[in-house]
Amino acid sequence: MVNDSIHGNIELHPLLVNIIDTPEFQRLRNIKQLGAGYWVYPGASHNRFEHSIGVAHLAGCLVKHLQEKQPELKISNRDKLCVQIAGLCHDLGHGPFSHLFDIMFIPEARPECSKWTHEKASVDMFLHMVNNNNLSKIMTEHGLVLEEDIGFIKELIKGVDILKEPKGFNGRTEDKSFLYEIVANEQNKIDVDKWDYFARDCHHLGISTSFDHKRLLKLTRVCDKPEVKSEPEVKSEPEVKSKPEVKRKIICFRDKERDNIYDMFRTRYNLHRQAYQHKTVNIIEIMIKDALLKADAYFKISNAIDNTSESLDKYTGLTDHILEKILYPDFDTQNLPEDTKKKLEEARKILENIAKRRLPKFIKEARLPDKENIQKDVLQNNWSKAVKECNPNMNPEDFVVDMVKMDHGMKGKDLTENVYFYKKSDPTKAFKINKNEMTSILPKRFYERLVRVYYRGSDENVYKQALECFNEWRENNFGLPEVLTCSWNIDNDIH
What tens digit of pLDDT does each residue of 9-42 get? 999 999 999 999 999 999 999 999 999 999 999 9
Question: What angle separates helix 118-132 from helix 309-316, to the nearest 10 degrees?
Answer: 100
Q: Which residue type sits at 145?
A: V
In the residue annotation, 118 being an active-site residue is answered as yes
DSSP state of 232: P
pLDDT for position 433: 83
Report the alpha-carbon angle 86-71-137, nearest 5.
Answer: 35
Of the two residues 300 and 233, the one the predictor is more confident about is 300
The separation between the first and the last C-alpha atoms of the chain, rounded to the nearest angstrom, is: 45
Cβ-contact 29, 51 below 8 angstroms: no
What DSSP state is assigned to residue 98? B
Choosing from 118, 128, 204, 408, the catalytic residue is 118
- Contact indicator for 59, 87 with CB cutoff of 8 Å: yes
Q: Which helix (H) or strand (E) holds 4?
A: strand 2-4
pLDDT digits 0-9 by tens, 255-298: 999 989 989 988 998 999 999 999 999 999 999 999 999 999 99
pLDDT at 193: 96
Does pLDDT of 402 surpass 80? yes
Task: Report the pLDDT value the prediction gives residue 495, as an integer from 0 to 100.
Answer: 33
The pLDDT tens digits for 143-197 are: 999 999 999 999 999 998 877 755 667 888 888 999 999 999 988 889 999 999 9
298 residue type, one letter: Y
Tens digit of each residue's pLDDT (9 = 90 or more) over 198-224: 999 999 999 999 999 999 999 999 999
Residue 489's pLDDT is 37
Residue-wise pLDDT for 349-386, tens only, equals 999 999 999 999 999 999 988 766 788 899 999 999 99
Computed from CA positions of residues 341, 346, 349, 355, in that sequence, does the dihedral angle turn out positive or negative? negative
Name the most confidently modeled range: 56-60, 449-453, 483-487: 56-60
Q: Which residues contact residue 107 at a Cβ distance below 8 angstroms, ignoring those fewer than 6 apart?
A: 113, 114
What is the average pLDDT across 335-355? 94
For residues 482-493, average pLDDT: 41
Calculate mean pLDDT across residues 474-489.
Answer: 66
Cα atoms found within 13 Å of the Cα of residue 402, Cβ hemisphere only: 26
Asked if the model's pLDDT at residue 492 lies above 50, the reply is no
Whether pTM exceeds 0.85 = yes
Q: Which pLDDT band holds residue 473 (cuts at 50, 70, 90)?
A: very high
Three-state DSSP class for residue 9: strand
Q: Average pLDDT, whole number, for the chain?
A: 88
Share of the chain above pLDDT 90, in %: 72
3-state secondary structure of 410: strand
Partnered with residue 455 across adjacent β-strands are: 361, 399
Q: Is there a contact between 125 and 157 (Cβ–Cβ < 8 Å)?
A: no
**More confident position, 405 or 453:** 453
State the pLDDT confidence band at 326, using cuts at 50, 70 and 90. very high
